[in-house]
């Protein structure tokens, strides 16, 4: 079915969801990950499911009330949404991202830490796919950015902006740094930190040109910043950062025992794998390692050895 952005009719919602699922799977194929589970499983989609309006969800094996396990459910739109969330590529990719996370690292959505890691990495995948597949200069309403679900007419969260409003316990208590408080009952709030690290590594830019390449908490006024605001992260570009971050999940690094303090080390090792070169050419991807280390340090998770840089065999300095 031909996708049609913006229509509220069920056939067009199906078309949007199917098309954005295809775009998502195309990106997964680039790092040689077959489908959402790495094994080419069928990607089932349920539209206008019996779930909370304005939402979408990936169906885990332990909770199949809204659809078959391994499917993505697009819930009905709210009265304030312009379109169904099927209009938002980052939402559809985010939900399939849960499938990637579940089938790679294996974090089950049963603890507050696992929920935050699930949501943070799914946010990263949502942005990765949007930046890979949508063009900023396109006349189409769907363009790449760092807002989430803006294409349906509702902006839920934004990685590159924080003047304090996003961390109010009474409004949107999203967490941009390890020292930020957030409700542990909702994985999206704490998980945003992970997407902030990806934004710093990939782009680091802000719409207004202020406080670029630093954690967005640095713009809070009058509250003191939580992060080191002298630490500026040199962005790699979205595709280089995407390949490095996806490898953390899709290769051999993250597993069910991993937590926030592990990812800086995983990212440095992944940077060597993706951007380095073995002997005799010997490139240890020092700049890329500096970027990902800086990105995780900026969100308050520098890891156990922030000064260590990894190297290819036979390419290590004396």
Q: Which CATH fold topology does 1-104 show? A: Elastase; domain 1 (3.10.170)
Tell which residue, 40, 141, 131, has the closest CA to residue 90: 131
Rounded CA-CA distance 4/284 in Å is: 46
Every domain range in the chain assigned CATH 3.10.170.10: 1-104
Instruction: Compute the half-sphere exposure of residue 159: CA atoms within 13 Å on the CB side of its CA.
Output: 30
First vs last Cα of the chain: how many Å apart?
A: 60
Q: Where exactly does CATH 1.10.390.10 map onto the chain?
A: 165-318
pLDDT (tens place) for every residue of the chain, 318 residues total: 344 555 556 668 888 899 999 999 999 988 788 999 999 999 999 987 778 888 899 998 888 888 899 999 998 888 888 888 888 999 999 999 999 999 999 998 888 899 999 999 999 999 999 999 986 555 555 778 898 888 888 878 889 888 776 665 566 678 999 998 887 777 999 999 999 999 999 999 988 888 899 999 998 876 777 889 999 999 999 999 999 999 999 888 999 999 999 999 999 999 999 999 999 999 999 999 999 999 999 999 999 999 999 999 889 986
- Residue 63 makes CB contacts below 8 A (sequence gap 6+) with none
Between CA 96 and CA 152 the distance in angstroms is 18
Domain 165-318 sits in CATH 1.10.390.10: yes
DSSP string, 220-276: -SSSPPSS-TT-------HHHHHHHHHHHHHSSS--TT--GGGHHHHHHHHHHHHH-
């Amino acid at each position: 079915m031909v996708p049609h952005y913006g229509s509220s009719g069920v056939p067009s919602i199906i078309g949007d969801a199917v098309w954005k699922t295809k775009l998502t799977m195309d990106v997964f194929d680039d790092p040689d990950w077959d489908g959402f589970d790495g094994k080419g499983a069928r990607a089932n989609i349920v539209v206008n499911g019996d779930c909370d309006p304005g939402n979408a969800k990936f169906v885990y094996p332990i909770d199949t009330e809204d659809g078959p396990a391994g499917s993505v459910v697009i819930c009905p739109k709210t009265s304030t949404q312009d379109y169904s969330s099927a209009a938002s590529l980052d939402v559809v990719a985010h939900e399939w991202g849960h499938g990637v996370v579940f089938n790679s690292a294996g974090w089950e959505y049963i603890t507050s830490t696992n929920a935050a890691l699930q949501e943070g990495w799914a946010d990263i995948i949502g942005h990765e796919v949007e930046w890979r597949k949508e063009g900023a200069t396109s006349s189409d309403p769907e363009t790449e950015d760092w807002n989430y679900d803006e294409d349906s007419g509702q902006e839920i969260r934004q990685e590159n902006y924080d003047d304090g409003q996003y961390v109010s316990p009474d409004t949107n208590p999203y967490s941009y740094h390890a020292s930020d408080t957030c409700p542990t009952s909702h994985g999206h709030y704490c998980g945003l930190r992970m997407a902030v690290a990806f934004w710093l590594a990939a782009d680091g830019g802000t719409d207004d040109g202020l406080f670029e390449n630093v954690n967005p908490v640095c713009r809070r006024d009058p509250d003191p910043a939580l992060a080191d605001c002298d630490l500026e992260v040199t962005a790699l570009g979205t595709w280089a950062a995407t390949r490095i971050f996806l490898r953390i999940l899709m290769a051999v690094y993250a597993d069910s025992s991993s937590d926030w303090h592990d990812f800086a080390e995983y990212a440095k090792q992944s940077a060597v794998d993706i951007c380095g070169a073995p002997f005799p050419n010997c490139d240890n991807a020092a700049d890329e390692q500096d970027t990902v280390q800086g990105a995780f340090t900026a969100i308050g998770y520098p890891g156990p050895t922030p000064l260590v840089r990894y190297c290819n065999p036979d390419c290590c300095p004396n």
